[in-house]
């Protein structure tokens, strides 16, 4: 079967599951709401970063992106749905590529739109404190935010294929991002800059220090996502449905 019909069928699965559409809506709502709250807070801290503050809602919002990536894949393992999918598309690599495409494209579109809305909402609260941001810096952060959310969703999708369980993926990734990453960051120093979340979020900062910049930080996150996708593809290819 050609790739286009496979992609169309996988996209229909996403569109017909309300929980998946609701998860994408949660990415937008949570990120924008928390960024607006951050923008309305005080800006008296000495290390205040107006760009990062404007997009700080990504921290909780990324949980919804992770959930979306995990749920798109884990839905296949409910009631042996994966058997039907692979019977229809025997070439597992083609099916996997289509599945990852329907993870990436919606998150990229929604994530970029979310970042733009969050920036506008936060800037309304920040007022003159954000006047120093240039158009280029804001565009870089908005696009980078969309790319970051896409990569983190693909990371979750790859791990879900490897674990064959969305619950296992969420049980690993959410505590890691919310708790472990900060603990390791305090204990490991510069090595923590290469964790998938910390590296990718550099693009959200107006100023940054350390070995990574916005582009290289996203490249590190992309490497983590690629490793998870390769591991998931290997598991899919070498295990019976």
Token readout for 32 is 């924008």
Token readout for 174 is 């959410």
- How many residues in the chain? 241
* 45: pLDDT strictly greater than 80: no
* 59-86 pLDDT, tens digit each: 999 999 999 999 999 988 877 778 888 8
* Pairwise CA distance, residues 129 & 127, whole Å: 5
* Pairwise CA distance, residues 45 & 67, whole Å: 33
Looking at residues 14-40, what average pLDDT do you find? Answer: 93
Closest C-alpha among 30, 23, 28, 63 to residue 174: 63
* 44: pLDDT strictly greater than 60: no
Closest C-alpha among 220, 170, 219, 218 to residue 191: 220
What is this structure's pTM?
0.93
* Pairwise CA distance, residues 220 & 139, whole Å: 21
pLDDT number for residue 207: 83
- Name every residue whose Cβ is closer than 8 Å to that of residue 114 and which is 6 or more positions away in sequence: 27, 28, 31, 32, 61, 145, 146, 149
């Amino acid at each position: 079967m050609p790739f286009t019909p496979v992609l169309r069928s996988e996209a229909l699965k996403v569109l017909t599951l309300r929980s998946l559409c609701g998860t994408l809506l949660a990415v937008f709502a949570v990120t924008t709401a928390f960024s607006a709250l951050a923008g309305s807070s005080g800006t008296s801290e000495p290390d205040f970063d107006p760009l990062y503050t404007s997009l700080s809602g990504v921290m909780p919002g990324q949980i919804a992106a992770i959930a979306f990536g995990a749920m798109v894949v884990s839905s296949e393992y409910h009631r042996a749905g994966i058997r039907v999918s692979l019977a229809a598309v025997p070439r597992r690599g083609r099916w996997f590529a289509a599945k990852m495409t329907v993870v990436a494209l919606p998150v990229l579109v929604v994530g970029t739109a979310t970042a733009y809305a969050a920036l506008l909402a936060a800037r309304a609260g920040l007022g003159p404190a954000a006047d120093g941001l240039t158009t280029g810096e804001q565009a870089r952060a908005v696009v980078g935010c969309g790319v970051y959310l896409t990569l983190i969703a693909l990371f979750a999708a790859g791990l879900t294929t490897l674990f064959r369980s969305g619950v296992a993926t969420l049980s690993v990734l959410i505590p890691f991002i919310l708790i472990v990453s900060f603990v390791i960051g305090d204990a490991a120093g510069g090595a923590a800059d290469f964790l998938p979340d910390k590296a990718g979020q550099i693009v959200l900062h107006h100023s940054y220090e350390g070995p990574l910049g916005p582009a290289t930080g996203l490249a590190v996150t992309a490497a983590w996502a690629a490793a998870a996708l390769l591991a998931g593809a290997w598991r899919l290819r070498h295990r019976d449905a």
